[in-house]
Structures are given as structure tokens and as C-alpha cells.
Structure 1
Amino acid sequence: MSSATTSSNSPTQFNDGTGATTPGLSSGSSDGKGSQPPPPPSVPAACLACRSKHLKCDGMTPCSRCLSSNSECIYVASRRGYKGPRRNPAANPNKRHASDSPPVSTNGDSCPMLLGHTPVQVPVTTMSVSGFNPAIILPQADPASPYSGPPGGLASLQVFRNPFLANHAASRPMGLATTPPTQQMPTLPERCFEAFYHFFHAGHPFVLPREQMLRLLNDGKTQLDAVATAMRWIGSLYIDAGPARAIYLDEAIRLCYLPSTPKDGFLVQALLLIIIGLDGSCQQERARELLADCERIALEINLNTRSFAAMHGGGNAVIEESWRRTWWDLYVCDGMIAGVHRVTNFLLFDIAADVALPCEEHEYLTGDIPQPMYMEDFDDQIFSGEDRPFSSFAYRIAAARNLGRFMRTPITLFPGDENVAKIESLLTNWRIHLPESKRHNINKKCKLDEMMFQGHFITHACSIMLHQPLSQLDSSPTRAVTSCAPHRPVATGQEFNVHTQHTVTAAYEISQMITMPVPVLSHTHFFTCVVTLASIVHLSKWALYFIHDEEDLRQQIRLNIGALTKISDVWKAADTACGQVKGVAQEIYRAKKAQQINPAFWVGFTQEQMISSINADEGIMAEFDGMLAVTQGQ
């Protein structure tokens, strides 16, 4: 039969537009089954020469057109529309063969990952993010499921892994799940526990790392009840815990003073956490009472000795490191409380201790504890010729020790006192002998090094306390700033001296620490009083009759107020300090405005400088007024 002949009972040849014909089914056949024979195999229907000229080819070899034109007649099988043999078309109509191309969807909202399937209309209420459950959308394998899907069901849909599920759940198709996945919300104690490690632990890293602590808690060790409750109270300060916050504090203190609570390192840890939290919550008197008890217990159990860690570590190097860190963090906190509040006298500075120095933070968190070194090694490193790396925690301890030495120095009454030079030598030696990796507050992984951060601000604060009484900055305008320590009167002077330069430089460095690319709440709350101390210096300088860098100084004051405002989200002490600093700034501004009324004030100013100074003053005071309004409205 020729290619041009057709019949109702024979396969129909459809022209593909190039002269080629494609086998198909006649209009009288509804499927590929029945009495009709299977379609013949595909054969070349047009040669390349006829195809290129869009002419009909007779299919002969060679064809009549090539024969007449004396052309080379070549046949190549056409693949247009060919999908291979279909032995079982009804088995899976949605199955994509290797030769298929993804069909183009006519619905602009359909997902391209569904490979052309008809989009399923899902109620909007089932797609809320908070209550998303794939089991609501996809039917369960259980035939008794009350879900009734659209005609044909959704069982044939090709599903994909959900990246938001746990690894074990994401490894199997959702359509094959026998039970719907559930998301169990963490309890309030769990949230507080996680908040402790997320926000607080890096600033005072003496409690065991999270995994180690969870392991001990799961073992049901009762001596951990006090420290675990204290940790939850600290964590509750960073989240919305409601009345549970006060309950955790009362319970933590009760557990610490129970007769059945053993006097051990965990009790010292619990008390130290409570002390830090109370100090930042404007309960300094109560914190000092607990500090005295904590120090007494630490000395009774010999926490300050080299042998304590080995005797009570149970052969666990991480627990031994935790005991060493507990003593040294108690030492540093005792010094910072004494330095910023100037009420206590840094008792532990005079206590003999031969506890090994802590290791680096990443070593502690990973459990890779190196051979410990001691303070003697730290002091002799210049003279011994041994190039030993010491941890950031060790430099933090050395900074606190310099603070203790300053506090034991008699009060100076005149600038030429040799004791001032001795303390300044200690502070300068701490700075210039830092290794390159410790000179900044960023570690090798470009993350904040909180231990070095604290070491630097302790040194800057010590420099201010050493030089401010001998400077030429009149402190009387800042006498209202007493949130951290009582006012220290400093007489005014006519010109800057070297002590004034030391004081101003240290205050500037503290303000620059605020600009670190990390949340200010990631620092210990003791940073509050250090920022307040720097603010007193800035305000004292701003109160002078005339200064050349007034615009830069105003920016430093604005920076400090912003930091205190942010820290006050958690720590009440920062809120009190912030209000006092802003109040003093307003008083100084009013005094400077009154001076500007006097024409003698503007002697030496150009008109442009006068306008610039007035606009700058108006701008900063408008910002201060806005901050005060927000604070009062809270």
C-alpha cells in the first residue's frame, strides 16, 4: 500500500510539516487496545534534501526528486513527537519518560517542581507558617483516614523532601509517613536554659559547656539543682518569662542555703551566677551579701588550690577545667564589683592561689583541654625565653590583677606621685606585651573574643580611675551620675595635663568598643558601669567653656547613651545609668545655651561656626529629649 493511501482500519499518517509523517491512531479508535494491530515501527519518510526544501518526498530510494536532480539521497529517522513504545499506557499516565520534556504549565501559580501536574487547591488556613503540617496537605497511607481528597486522590503526586524537618524525617517521602510529624514546643525551663547559653555563658564561661551540663542533668545528679535553677533565672532575664523569673530567683537562693545542699564547686557556681545577676538588676547590696558567703565557701572547700580540680574532676578534663574557671571568674568578678562600685575591697586579691590558668574558649567548648599553665609561667614568659601562648582568659585575669594592685595603692594627692607611675607601668606593660592575636577583640575566626574584650575595658577603666583625680576635668557637672559609684570630686584646671590626656584617651577607647560588630547585649553587664565611667569623662569635658572637638565629643556621648539604652533591655542597672547620663547632658546643654547669650562667648567665631554650633546643640538635645520620652513611656 502506498504512503498516500488511508483507511479507517489502518494507522493514519500525520504530516509533521516537513514532509515527514508520524504514525497515529485513527479517529475511530479510542485507545491503543482492541483488535487493531500495534503501530508499525517508525521508518524514514522524507530524505534530507526534500526536508531542507520543504518538498514532499515519495519515500523511494533514491527518491524521484533526488534522482532527477542527481543529488545524494539520505534518509534520517524523524524523532518529532516520538515517545517510544507504549506497552502499558494505563499503568502510570503521569510517569515521565527519558525522552519526554517537562510540559509547560498554563497556570502561572503552579510549582515547576510538580512537573506539570494539575495544581491542588489547598485552603489558605492550612498554609499558615506557625501551624504548617505536611500531613494536613498529603493523605496518609491509612485507608481509614478521614481525609477525603479530590477525585483521583493525591497518592500519585511526586513529593519532595522538606528541609525544615529533622534529618530522620526528611530522609523519607512525606506521603509514606505513617504518623503526622509533630513540633513540640520547648517548655519555659528549656527556653531559659537555652537563653543562658546563647546570651550569657560567653561573658562568664565557668559553668560546664551545654552538652556536658545536659549529660549530668540527665543523670539526675541532685547537687546540680541549685546551679541549674540559677542558670534558668539568668536565662529568664533575656526572654519573656513572666512571673517565673522571680520564682526562679527565690528558688535558686533557697536551694543554695538548704542544709542538705553540699558545699562544693557547684554551689559556688550557683552563688556566683546569682551575684552577677543581682548586681546587674540594681540589687547590689544583696549581691554583696551573697558574695561574702560565696567567697567563704570557696575558701572552705579549697577551690583556690591546684589540687582541687584533680580531686573533684572525676578524671574528666572538662570538669577539671570548669573548676579552674570557677575560681578565676569569681576572682575577676570580685575585682570588677570592687572597681566599679568602690564599696568592697577585692578580698580575693590578697588570697594565695595556685590554680592553673584556663585554656582558650574553643578548647573548653570542644573538650580538647591542653596541659594547663600557671600564673608563674605567665609572669616569667619575657625572661624565660619560652614563647608560650596564653589564653584570652589568662590576659583577663592579669587585667583584673592590675586592678587589684591599683586598689591597694595609697590615694595620690599630687601628679608627681611615684605610685601613679608604677601603676601606669603595669597598665602599659599589659597592653604592649599582648601578642598580635590578642591586641583586638576579634579572634582568628573573626568572632568576638569576649575574654579579651573584658580585659581591655578593665584596663581602660583602671586608667580612668588612676588619672582622673589628677586631671584638669572638673567633675562637678556629673555629680548626679551615681548609678555605679559615688561621685568623685575633681578640681578644675586651666589646661590639659598628661593625666587629662590619659583619662580622655581611655574614655574614647571605651566608647569605640561599643562599635564592635556584635550585639552590645552579648557583653557582660559590667560593661554598663565602664560605659558610665567613660560618659562621666565625656560630660566633664563637654562642660568646659570651649573645646575644639565638640562635635566629635557629642557623638561619643550619643554613642554611650545608645549603648546604655540597649543594655537596659535586660539589665536594670543600665536603665538607671542611662537616665542619669541623659539628665546631666541636658543640664550641660542648658548651661551652654545660657553662655551663648553672652556676646563674649562668640569671640573668635565666624558666623558659619556660630550657626553650626547652635544647630549641633539643638540636634543632640532633640535626640536626648526623644530618648527620655521613650524611657518614661516604658
Structure 2
Amino acid sequence: MSNASPSELLNGFGSEMSNHPTPNPSVSGTPPNTVQAACLACRNKHLKCDGKTPCSRCQSSESECVYVASRRGYKGPRRNAAPNPNKRHASDSPASAGGDSCPMLLGATVSSSAAPTLAIFNPALGTSDSPATPFAPPGLHSLQLYRDPYLNGTTGALVENGSRPQTMPERCIDSFYYYFYPGHPAVLQKEPLLKAAKERNLDHLLAAMRWVGSLYIDSGPSRATFFEEAMRLVYAPDVPKDGYLVQAMVILLIGLDGSCQQEKARDILSDVEGIAIEIGLYTRAFATMHGRGIPRLEESWRRTWWDLFVVDGMVAGVHRQTNFLLFDIVADVGLPCEEHEYTSGSIPRPMYLEDFDDQLFSGEEREFSSFAYRVASIRNLGRMMRMPNSGFPNEESVSKVESLLSNWRMHLPASKRDCLTKDFQLDEMMFQAFMINNACSIILHQPLSQLDSSPAREVTACAPHQRIQSGDRFNLHTRHIITAACEISKMVTYNVPITSHTHFFTCVLTLSSIVHLSKWSLEYFIHDEDDLRQQIRLNIGALNKLSNVWKAASRASGQVKGVAQEIYRAKKAQQNNPSFWVGFTQEEIISSMAADEGIMSEIDTMLTSAPASAP
């Protein structure tokens, strides 16, 4: 593990989370020596609680001791009781608190003679995102597969007639599966995982899941407690070095990276890479040896390695601070299966990288999963990062890598040529695969393009500014980066909650925005300028939405908006020169100036309403 201790990793991050006094449960009318309820920490661990405030267990572990009213023994409303006109029922929509906290109804109420009536709400507080379709049974696509917990938009509580309210830890676990899991589907599904947690200690993994899940809902002071607990358990001296620990650490580092704690995330990444290599997670035998003969668990271990592999590559690609260490590990782990197969438990015999690489020449018709194409896409990023580079890439090296990127796109089967499944639902694994491919294209060709990057030099939220040379020879490279930037902007238009994507989409959007802003800043008139404005508007809108969850998006959003304002002011100064408009009709001049005014009015509004950027 790295030299950073758990307390050092906690330092600075925990202080950003507000500290609130522990609520004091009411004990009036309680007979002496009688414990009416257990605190949340003891209840979740199925331990006896002495009912004190704080209880002795929480006091010794320095945990937050919180009590909630118990519904044990409640038998429903008394017969013939006078109805209370002010009382809302579980099937009612929650009352709006006004403003952004109004919960968004995702779909029609589902009713069945064999099942309770359920109302479905968005668990994200303050977002207006909603899935493309009303709720459908599990099995349709990677995002809806884990939306079976129907969450209240204000508190994240389960809404079900006759059911007890969920505790905050339970709501955070459901939030994890609802939002975070589709982008990084490595851990077991909820029911198998909770079953496994009864057979062995998985407190560290559940704690990491609770903390990340808390980022998407209004979790109050519990969020800081969840983070501190997760860090303490993950770095406990007696924690086993196994696949579950790798899963917990990957979840933590992703959450820290998206929360602008990139240095702490890199420390954990370095630690988890060492653990994964030490335990042999990259070997074919690991899944069999530690899968206990359970196909779904074996698949989970394969996914754990490949998700760590992808995350390592994404961190290296978007921040340019690490070197994608795992790319150089010779791994023979089986490739993951399709999401619906993993969810159903019908796990096919795995295929391997050699099968994927030889598919064009073997003559065999093989269907590879979307996850496999995601792995293939990040491998191309690794090859690009190993390209000989003495400060400026040469044309030959760039051409070789571009062949890899183009071959990846050209040889996709018909079912993988966009980010939709055959049921027209979002395929999150292919979404990330295309996202990585387009990001690679920008990173590869930008140094040789003719777009001067200096106008966007202040956009450094994800990676330091890199000065780009310009010249007339590089029009081909310029077309590559403009095409890739436009493709990334189009990815915003998929009608799913933007926060359901991996948070690394934030940095890819920022990369796209740098290209758009560099093009918009050109001194000469751009004939497709209206389309360009729409791309900028899409990117800023998406970053604004992601800001509700991720501080990194808030920082990037503020920087992109600020640069857009500077470019707009410079363009207004240019437009005051009559020679700028030579050759254009009065109608074109008026239209262009009005469009500029429109987009800047929108940006000003976004700047006013957006969350404050992280320090």
C-alpha cells in the first residue's frame, strides 16, 4: 500500500462534510432498564444495543449513534378511527418543498393483484433527470436492471404500501445500485451480496457502497460518517486482501476522484493495484479458485479485474498524472459477459482476449459482450499512452494508433454500432466504450491539429493545459478532433439521467468543450457556428447536471462557462470592426449576433443557478 495512512487520506476530505450534533432520541415514558430500540449501527450489524446515547458500542468505535423510531409491533390504524384529512398515504406523491427539491415522477404506478402498489420516484435530490421510459421489470437494460428499489425523490426512502420506512444506510445502498452500479457493474447484485454478507464480514464493501450511494441523495451528516467508516474499514489492519477489498477500494477511489480529491484517489489506486497483483486477480485461475463453484461469483471476480483495469486507464487518460500501470500486466482473465446474463445468473462460458483479437482471422462467428468492447477501447488508450513521444508525436506513430481506433469502430457488429440495445435502451458499457474511443481521438490528434488551444487554457479541472501548435498542414487532425468532440456532445442527448453515467464522462465532456471553445474563438466567420453553439450548450448543460453530484463537474462547468464568456466578449469586439462582416448579408450578420446573445444569456443564467465550484 502507499505511504499515506488512513488518517492522512481522511484529512481534508472529512472536513468538507458538515458536522451535525447526533440526534437525541426521546425516552420519555420508557421504563428503567428497558431498551426500546437499537441504534442504526447496532441494528445493521445485528448486535445488541444498550440504548444509551451514545450506546457503548458506538462510543468505543467512535461511530455516529443514531436512533430512529421503531415500527415493531405496529398493527396498522385502529378500526373506526376518525380519518385525518392532513395525513398522506404511502401511495401519495410527497409534498413539494418548493424549488429544485420537487421529486420527479418517473413512471405510472405499477399495480398487480399479486404485488403491492408501488410509486416510483427519482432518488436524486435537486435534479430534473428522468429515465426515458416508465419503470419496466428487470432485464431490459443495464440502467433499469437495478431500479427495482423505488425511491422517494426527497429522502430516497422506499415507497411501498404497508412497508416500513428505510433507514439511511439502506437508502444509500439502493442509491448505489440505482445510479452508480450501471457504470461500474462489478460487485454482486443486491440480494446475492447481502446473502454473502451474512456468511462473511463485508462491512468494508458495504460501507464504501453506502458512501458513494449517499452522494446521489440528501443524506445529511450521515455522508461524512459513511466516508470515515469506509476508510477506516478498508484500511483496517485485519481486513483480508481479497476481491471484496479490491471492489471496495475501486468504489472509493472513483467517488473521491469525482469529488475533486484526485490525490487521495491516486493513493488508493496505487494501493489497490498492488493488492490486485499480489492476490493474482489478473490470472485466469483466480475466479475459479475463489468463486466457490458459483458462476455469478466467478463472473464478479472477472468483472472486478476488468473494471479496475478500465478505471486505471480512465484516470490516466483524463488526468494525465498516472501511467496506466495495469496495461503492462499480462492478464488472462476471462472477458465479462453481457449485463442481462450477469443479472439473470445465466453465465456463459467466458471468452478471452486472444479470442477477441483473433476473431477477424479465425473465421469463427463470435458474439462478444459490450463490456468486452469497453475493455478493447481502453486497451487502445493504453497503446496510445505507450506511443514513443519525445514531447511531440510524429505522424507515423499517430497513424498507427488511429488505425487501432478506426478498426475498433469499423469492426463493431451491428448490435454494437451505437449505445442502444435491441430494445432501444441505453447500453452503458457501449456508452463508455464510445466515450473512451472519442476521447482517445482528441488526445491523439490535438497536438497536431490547427486549433489553437490557448483560448481554453483556463479549463484545467481534469488535466493541465497543453499548448497546441498550429499550422496549415494539420487540417486532417483538426477534422478528427472536431468530429470526436461533436460525437461526445451527441452522447448527452441519450434520454437517460445524465448522473447515471460514470463520473469520468465529466472529463470527457470537458475535453470536448475545449475543442468547441477553441473552434469558436477563431477570428474568421464559422459557417456552422450555430451548430457549434448548440454543442457548447449541450456540454455546459450536461456539466451543470453532473454538478449536482460531482464536485469535479462543478469545477469544470465553471471553467468552461468562464472561457465561453471571454470568447464571447472577444467576438463582440471583433464584430465591431466592419471589415469582419465583408461578404455577408445583413440577415446573416443579424442572425449571428442574435445567436451569440442567446447562448450567452443562457450561460449567464447557468452561472447564476449552478452549484458553487469546489475550492
Give the TM-score of the pair, scaled to structure 1: 0.72
Q: Could you say which residue in structure 2 is the equivalent of 1:424?
A: 402
Deviations along 1:295-348, one digit per CA (max 9) or x if unpaired, are: 001111010111011101111111100000000000000000000000000000
Distance 1:165 1:387 in 2: 43
Q: Is the counterpart of residue 568 in structure 1 residue 567 in structure 2?
A: no
Distance 1:481 1:169 in 2: 50
Q: Could you say which residue in structure 1 is the equivalent of 2:428?
A: 450
Distance 1:233 1:388 in 2: 39
Distance 1:376 1:169 in 2: 49
Distance 1:289 1:556 in 2: 35
Matches within 5 A, 1:75-90: none
Q: Rate the CA distance shift 1:613–1:375 in 2: closer, same or farther, 3 A.
A: same
Distance 2:308 2:115 in 1: 43
Q: Could you say which residue in structure 2 is the equivalent of 1:267?
A: 245
Matches within 5 A, 1:69-218: 123=83, 125=85, 128-130=88-90, 167=114, 182-217=162-197
Q: Contact conserved, 2:510 with 2:556, CA < 8 A, in 1?
A: yes
Match 1:583 to one of 562, 583, 588 = 562
Moved more, 372-381 or 599-608: 599-608
Q: Could you say which residue in structure 1 is the equivalent of 2:308?
A: 330
Matches within 5 A, 1:276-425: 276-411=254-389, 417-425=395-403
Percent of residue pairs identical: 63
Greater CA radius of gyration, 1 or 2? 1
Given residue 338 of structure 2, which amino acid in structure 1 is its aligned partner? Answer: E
Q: Contact conserved, 2:205 with 2:245, CA < 8 A, in 1?
A: yes
Q: Contact conserved, 2:334 with 2:352, CA < 8 A, in 1?
A: yes
Deviations along 1:482-532, one digit per CA (max 9) or x if unpaired, are: 000000111233586100000100000000011112111111000000000
Distance 1:603 1:315 in 2: 75
Distance 2:390 2:446 in 1: 11
Distance 1:461 1:246 in 2: 33
Distance 1:305 1:163 in 2: 45
Distance 2:116 2:365 in 1: 51
Given residue 199 of structure 1, which amino acid in structure 2 is its aligned partner? Answer: Y
Equivalenced residue count is: 474
Q: Could you say which residue in structure 2 is the equivalent of 1:236?
A: 214
Deviations along 1:254-286, one digit per CA (max 9) or x if unpaired, are: 111111111111001100000000000000000
Given residue 350 of structure 2, which amino acid in structure 1 is its aligned partner? Answer: P
Match 1:498 to one of 451, 454, 476 = 476
Distance 2:420 2:299 in 1: 23
Distance 2:439 2:199 in 1: 43
Q: Contact conserved, 1:474 with 1:493, CA < 8 A, in 2?
A: no
Q: Rate the CA distance shift 1:472–1:190 in 2: closer, same or farther, 3 A.
A: same
Q: Alpha-carbon deviation of 1:566?
A: 0.4
Q: Alpha-carbon deviation of 1:129?
A: 3.1
Given residue 612 of structure 1, which amino acid in structure 2 is its aligned partner? Answer: S
Q: Is the counterpart of residue 631 in structure 1 residue 610 in structure 2?
A: yes
Distance 2:211 2:402 in 1: 40
Distance 2:257 2:475 in 1: 35
Q: Could you say which residue in structure 1 is the equivalent of 2:226?
A: 248
Q: Contact conserved, 2:393 with 2:447, CA < 8 A, in 1?
A: no
Give the TM-score of the pair, scaled to structure 2: 0.74
Q: Could you say which residue in structure 2 is the equivalent of 1:35?
A: none
What is the SS of the residue equivalent to 1:390? coil
For structure 1, the residue ranges without an aligned partner over 5 or more in a row are 1-119, 133-161, 171-180
Q: Contact conserved, 1:412 with 1:420, CA < 8 A, in 2?
A: no
Distance 2:521 2:364 in 1: 50
What is the SS of the residue equivalent to 1:497? helix
Distance 1:576 1:633 in 2: 8
Q: Rate the CA distance shift 1:169–1:248 in 2: closer, same or farther, 3 A.
A: closer
Q: Could you say which residue in structure 2 is the equivalent of 1:439?
A: 417
Moved more, 323-332 or 595-604: 595-604
Distance 1:279 1:513 in 2: 22
For structure 2, the residue ranges without an aligned partner over 5 or more in a row are 1-79, 93-108, 118-160
Q: Could you say which residue in structure 2 is the equivalent of 1:521?
A: 499
What is the SS of the residue equivalent to 1:553? helix
Q: Alpha-carbon deviation of 1:577?
A: 0.3
Distance 2:253 2:549 in 1: 16
Q: Rate the CA distance shift 1:362–1:492 in 2: closer, same or farther, 3 A.
A: same
